[in-house]
Chains A and B, each alone.
Chain A
Amino acid sequence: MHTIKVKIADLAVLRSEGLLITIGLGSCVGIALYDAESKVGGLAHILLHRSSQFGNRTNTFNPAKFADTAIPVLIKKMEKIGGRRKRFMAKIAGGSQLFNFRKSTGISIGEKNIEVVRQTLHELKIPLRGEDVGGNFGRTMRFFVDSGKVLITTMGRGDREL
Chain B
Amino acid sequence: MKESIINKDKLDVLKELANIGVGNALTSLSQMLNEEKVEMDVPVATLAPLQDVPDLLGGEELPVAGIYIESHGDINLTILFVLSLESAANLVSVLVPGSQGEFNEMGLSALVEVGNILTASYLNALSFMTDLKLLPSPPVIAVDMSAAIISTVMAEAHIVDDEVVLLKTFLKSKQSHISGHILILPDVGALDSIFTLLGAR
User: Which chain A residues have a beta carbon within 8 Å of chain B's beta carbons?
Assistant: 7-10, 23-28, 47-48, 54, 56-60, 62, 65, 96, 98-103, 109-110, 136-140, 155
Contact = CB atoms under 8 A, between A and B. Distances in A.
B155 A27 contact: yes
B140 A8 contact: no
A37 to B, nearest CB: 32
B145 A155 contact: yes
B90 interface: no
Nearest to A102: B138
Given A54-B158, A60-B2, A139 B148 contact: yes
B2 A58 contact: yes
Interface residues of B, number: 36
Interface in B1-21: 2-3, 5
Interface string B40-74: 00000000001111110000110100001000000
Given A24-B54, A58-B2, A109 B155 contact: yes
B76 to A, nearest CB: 14
Contacts of B163: 58
Given A24-B54, A24-B151, A99-B156, 14 more contacts: A8-B51, A9-B50, A10-B51, A27-B151, A28-B151, A57-B161, A60-B2, A60-B162, A65-B50, A98-B144, A99-B140, A138-B148, A155-B61, A155-B63
A110 B50 CA distance: 19
A23 B5 contact: no
B154 A140 contact: no
Interface in B124-177: 137-138, 140-142, 144-152, 154-156, 158, 160-163
A116 to B, nearest CB: 13
A8 B152 CA distance: 11
A58 B3 contact: yes
Contacts of B94: none
Contact of B50 (A8, A100, A136): A8
Given A99-B142, A103-B137, A26 B148 contact: yes
A115 to B, nearest CB: 14
Given A58-B3, A58-B163, A26 B152 contact: yes
A28 B160 CA distance: 12
A138 B145 contact: yes
A140 B145 CA distance: 9
Contacts of A28: 151-152, 155
A23 B147 contact: yes
Contact of A99 (B68, B147, B158): B68
A54 B158 CA distance: 8
B172 to A, nearest CB: 24
A23 to B, nearest CB: 4
28 contacts: A7-B52, A7-B55, A8-B54, A8-B147, A9-B50, A24-B54, A24-B150, A28-B152, A28-B155, A47-B151, A48-B155, A48-B160, A56-B161, A56-B162, A59-B2, A60-B2, A60-B162, A98-B142, A98-B152, A99-B156, A109-B152, A109-B156, A137-B144, A137-B148, A138-B145, A138-B149, A139-B148, A140-B61
